[in-house]
Structure 1
């Protein structure tokens, strides 16, 4: 298989072997509170079972590192690539996404045995400079699935009428967000990944954009502001909604963010009282756009957001999850947005930018070229990081992306306006 080129990412300077071990351990720590049934359930097509995430990330290492770069390596089980390939056409047939919850065997214990086997087999490659870029990609891939594991199991528990908790509530304290606006004079800005270290291929090439003068809110929209939007008839006023959005609201009977009920919201600690000052989350692009219209503002473009964030990146604060330096789970503090003074770390923030390739973008050759490029249609760019994002995973140039109606991720918004 062709190697990723420098266009895909650059090898990070830090110890890849240590990051590999910590990332693999974090996935397994998150699985620890789950029963076999918890780990197998699939609550909707957009979500995947926790066991599938554990196995798919292992398939990734076996397929793209061990199979091609360890002479004589034999697959742990030749039947499993069909079960745990996600969308890589170059890797052949696979089970339909909506049927992942039907895979009762292998068991979670089997998946963990596979993980242990692959972890041991990877050790000789972790310090090999010839595959450093692929190792960095694999770590970033598993970090993404850690966040997906958290959001997917949250949705599954929400669907349970008992509203079970994955962890105890712990202590949370809403931070004081800044007031006012960050003004930007506009002009020509360079956007895209410009630093050393890892970056996905969709973060480049670096190019120039022209920005008109604008301002970005210093704070995220809060639960309390969203309650005002609802009370003012926000979900029943067609004038606020795009045509497809209004059809979605009518068809689905949407009247509040996902996981809301009277005065409460569903969390990894079960149903909890909703904090009016905390950032709103679990909203769709449709809802974010309608709220911005109601507020007399708009969503920022991804380039405006990046222009402001470039001087405010705080990678060590990109998530309060994976709380300590060892990247271990702080079970007393499940992911929950509480408000921060930075642009990173609470919710992924919708922009009004369609997820499209940058000028001169070309996907890399081989199966890893399917990672981002083929999804550049019909989705919207989100920036920042959420409370469920592994620390240090995001950066100003990072481009997350979702479809207009999706809202099971920790998604929110920050308003913008023209100056």
Structure 2
């Protein structure tokens, strides 16, 4: 079922409590000062994430009732993200300037809206209400991931480079050998089938043609990417797309974000630690992923190739639920490892609508559809993505220069 069709369930209130509480749990150990930081225009303060996800429920769930009056109408401008049809918005690059309302005020706002939504769920079994609450919870899980990626960038910007959490021990002393697994070719179906929740951009299910191809059995590792760096990958324009090479020159990129210049250590949510050669390389832009694949004599998979392979793999892996918050080395002997979790996988596919795509009606139609230009699709989730937020059809998307997300790559090749 799509987001439009999700029925009411008796477990909705329990799921609401679970997801909302999980967001607050991720903030444990962070100070009010930590949650106020905005380290770059693409990131947002943790406090803003707490408030915006609450505003979403107030605006689109409680606001269904024409008699509802916002708890503080002036906050809508502060915590509206990009819904132009709803009203004016505070400029995204200036969210870190919002010292008021305070963190305590925002927490109070969350509690008040949570109580109102719970009360509504207890007395209203309208399937449309359940659909909107489910959408709000999926939206909140996206912001859980953003909260972690944004606080990582903020802490990295601090010269002390403090840790968000205690370190976890390494998980492997060897790298699973790289091999390529033949994929299906011919006409296949991708996109959401109609069972359970899906965002509108995952629909409709449709047919597409796959040419003979293969996917790597695991993600590219730090050691493999280090070889690219040491062999001059960032100094060879012939490996890069034109815009990518211009970005490398303008930004003076020499290695992945969070790697130190010694090429022996990196910043993680557990602070600075030695670079683990067996772990998947992480925090790459699309430009870097594409250049590495070209250097390796391969290419990035298309999203249709990836999804067709992922449809036969259970949603398991190193995800937010594991609470490692760091990619983990591949292990096991399955044909396809690390399909879910560890790092989002850049694909060769631009983010566009599927054939016969229709966005959600009304203001919620701004959620996905209007970003279908200049972005690239990523698949599979990361070590900071909740497990029950993922499925084989899930389409993430970011601009090609973005590298603060937990993004890496899997190689593909033609057969």
User: Could you say whether these structures have the same fold, taking a TM-score greater than 0.5 normalized by the shorter chain as the test?
Assistant: yes
What is aligned with 1:244?
A: 243
Checking the alignment, whether the CA contact within 8 Å between 2:9 and 2:130 is kept in structure 1 is no
The correspondence for 1:399, drawn from 395, 398, 401, is: 395
Matches within 5 A, 1:254-293: 254-261=253-260, 262=262, 263-293=264-294
Query: Offset at 1:125?
Result: 3.2
What is aligned with 2:334?
A: none
What is aligned with 1:221?
A: 220
Q: Secondary structure at the match of 2:266?
A: strand
Q: Secondary structure at the match of 2:18?
A: helix
Q: Secondary structure at the match of 1:392?
A: helix
Q: Secondary structure at the match of 1:167?
A: coil
1:183-240, CA deviations, whole angstroms, 9 ceiling, x for partnerless residues?
Answer: 0240000010115110000001111001001000011000000110011111111110
Matches within 5 A, 1:81-230: 81-126=76-121, 128-130=125-127, 131-174=129-172, 177=176, 179-230=178-229
Quick one: distance in 1 between partners of 2:3 and 2:21? 29
What is aligned with 1:347?
A: 343
Change in 2 beyond 3 A, CA 1:401/1:299:
same
Quick one: distance in 2 between partners of 1:80 and 1:160? 30
Quick one: distance in 2 between partners of 1:252 and 1:284? 12
Change in 2 beyond 3 A, CA 1:226/1:14:
farther
Quick one: distance in 1 between partners of 2:358 and 2:216? 34
2:65 matches 1:65:
no
1:146-182, CA deviations, whole angstroms, 9 ceiling, x for partnerless residues?
Answer: 0000000000000000001111113341486464112
Runs of 4+ in 1 over 4 A off after TM superposition: 5-9, 11-14, 175-178
Change in 2 beyond 3 A, CA 1:226/1:123:
same
Quick one: distance in 1 between partners of 2:27 and 2:389? 20
Change in 2 beyond 3 A, CA 1:9/1:348:
farther
Checking the alignment, whether the CA contact within 8 Å between 1:179 and 1:218 is kept in structure 2 is yes
Gaps of 5+ in 2: 332-336
Q: TM-score, normalised by structure 1?
A: 0.93
2:69 matches 1:74:
yes
Query: Offset at 1:363?
Result: 1.1
Change in 2 beyond 3 A, CA 1:11/1:339:
farther
Quick one: distance in 1 between partners of 2:10 and 2:167? 34
Query: Offset at 1:31?
Result: 1.4
1:349-372, CA deviations, whole angstroms, 9 ceiling, x for partnerless residues?
Answer: 000100000011111221111000
